[in-house]
Amino acid sequence: MSGALVVILAAIVAWIVAPLSPGVLVLQFAWTPRTFGEIVHLWPPEDLARYRAHLWVDGALLLAYGVLGYLLGTQTRLFAPLSLRLRRLAPFVLPLAAAFDAVENVLQAWLTAMPRFDVAPVYLASAACSALKWGLLFVFGALLLWALARGDEEDAPDCG
């Protein structure tokens, strides 16, 4: 059920932010106040409102994918083909990504509420949280693919 919720919420988020140009990913990796401001100022007021409104749905999405990752790592044998260290790590990758996503959302909600060009470290922190979130999402994907590939190896018939 949590997997279906992730898919539904991700689709809703994608639908909400699809009209934004430049897109949300560009804003997530805006490391400086100048870059962030240039992006936000390209959006008309209704697009900025659309972006800010999406943060609520994204909050539900990050909770859903954090729970999904934990459940996949603790309640299934999906990661069983991996080493003990990686099996112990797997349940915490998506919840940690969700935590960085939550901090990113809070910072971006604050930064888009009004111009705040005098707090460069906050822009840096927001982009760093985004980078860490995306990095952890890719790590989880890699662990998942590796586990699936190793599982196939164990199921293959012995031809020797």
Q: Going residue by residue through the chain (160 aa), what tens digit of pLDDT does each one get?
A: 888 999 999 999 999 999 999 999 999 999 999 999 999 999 999 999 999 999 999 999 999 999 999 999 999 999 999 999 999 999 999 999 999 999 999 999 999 998 888 999 999 999 999 999 999 999 999 999 999 998 766 554 455 4
Which amino acid is located at 74 in the chain?
A: T
CB-based contact 2:64 (threshold 8 Å)? yes
The backbone torsions φ and ψ at residue 46, rounded to the nearest 5 degrees and listed phi first, read -70, -30
23's tokens:
């897109």
Q: What was the pLDDT predicted at 152?
A: 65
Which amino acid is located at 31 in the chain?
A: W
Give the CA radius of gyration of the chain: 19
CA proximity to 112, closest of 29, 20, 27: 27
- Does the pTM of the predicted model rise above 0.75? yes
- 28 vs 63: CA distance, rounded Å: 19
